[in-house]
Amino acid sequence: MAGYNLEAIEAAPLKEDVDIVIPTIRSLDFLEQWRPFLKHYHLIIVQDGDPSINIRVPEGYDYELYNRNDINRILGPRANCISYKDGGCRCFGFMVSKKKYIYTIDDDCFVAKDPSGKEINVIAQHIKNLETPSTPHYFNTLYDPFRDGTDFVRGYPFSLREGVTTAISHGLWLNIPDYDAPTQLVKPRERNIRYVDAVMTIPKGVLYPMCGMNLAFNRELIGPAMYFGLMGEGQPISRYDDMWAGWAAKVVCDHLGFGVKTGLPYVWHSKASNPFVNLKKEHKGLHWQEDMVPFFQNLRLSKESDTAAKCYMELSNMTKEKLTEVDPYFEKLADAMVAWIEAWEELNPPVDGKDVKAK
Ligand SMILES: O=c1ccn([C@@H]2O[C@H](COP(=O)(O)OP(=O)(O)O[C@H]3O[C@@H](CO)[C@H](O)[C@H]3O)[C@@H](O)[C@H]2O)c(=O)[nH]1
Ligand SMILES: [Mn+2]
């Protein structure tokens, strides 16, 4: 696609502009294998669970590490908005970063190979996805027209070919797919071995189940809407952290005129979490998603909400108003959403008194 120097994006991995956020309750040994691709980047590690455990960060990495004591110290009374004993604690890392882009990855994901056997540079592909426009208003049947060797197909209106700024790049997984507990239970041996060489824009008005395992986004544009909710210990729900963030961030992107892509790059997801444990953690979410998804599908944000933070405050009011009838938990979640935005704004004061506004 003319006008975008994809070679240059590949050669320059934007190391000054990207932070890598890793939530972990296990070990960081997986970083040994990632060294060729991740060693140039700054890591923000969010250690979940017992803060007295010392976790080892493999040699040579530049990193910040936060445990629960650090989160409590930095956020004070607002620390309650960060989940405990749930991968959703990763969003604390989004808040303390100062970079334009975030790449977040789970600690059981490894370097995947493309069908030619070449190791996949996840950051290079996510940056390509993010630095080229999305096309949410009309579907291109040859997928992302901004990739090398393809373009807009016949019948694609020229007025729409400029596209919109991309805010989210959702990458996929080989080996262990991101299934819910019931699907894991009935297909314990299923593995994803299908490498689909495609990136596509998720159309405007369409929601999707966003997985936090291999995800990149522009935190300047959409960071405040990437709240992974209030889940885990002390809450009636877990493992819907990324789902909540994905639904909210998509409606905010649609409202502000930003795009969301899904597809490449792949990671190799190594570990199947225990489906029985997952069922216990997820069962309320399995019921509530039948209400949460229509809630996000039907809501309309106001014209006055012209930044991600303002949209998110409006979403918090709507959550309280509409979802509390599903369960009183949603009132707590709505309050946590407000605390999240207040904490975000304290740690990320608007530059020159201004937030990033919609186009
Ligand atoms: O209490 C916890 C549990 C986990 N983590 C860290 O979060 C990620 C993902 O955890 P895990 O690999 O156990 O979960 P999966 O089922 O394979 O992954 C999917 O579930 C999602 C919902 O939480 C998650 O985003 C998906 O990728 C690992 O890094 C764990 O160490 C944690 O911090 N606290
Ligand atoms: Mn996993």
Residue nearest to atom 13 of ligand 1 (CA): 273
pTM of the model: 0.95
pLDDT in tens, 233-272: 999 999 999 999 999 999 999 999 999 999 999 999 998 7
Query: Which pLDDT tens digit goes with each residue over 175-204?
Result: 999 999 999 999 999 999 999 999 999 999
- The complex's ipTM works out to 0.98
pLDDT for position 95: 98
Which of 286, 81, 305, 290 has its CA nearest to residue 185?
Answer: 286
Nearest atom, ligand 1, residue 212 CA: 25
Ion ligand 2, residues whose Cβ is below 5 A away: 106, 108
SS3 percent helix, strand, coil of the chain, rounded to 5, is 40, 20, 45
Pairing of strands 62-66, 199-201: unpaired
Q: Is the pLDDT of residue 356 over 70?
A: no
Ligand 1 lining (C-beta closer than 6 Å): 23-26, 48, 85-87, 89, 106-108, 178, 211-213, 232, 239, 241-242, 271, 273
pLDDT at 68: 98
Average pLDDT for residues 85-102, to the nearest whole number? Answer: 98
> Closest residue (by CA) to atom 23 of ligand 1?
239
Distance CA 60, CA 46 (A): 18
Of 130, 269, 112, 95, residue with least CA distance to 197 = 112
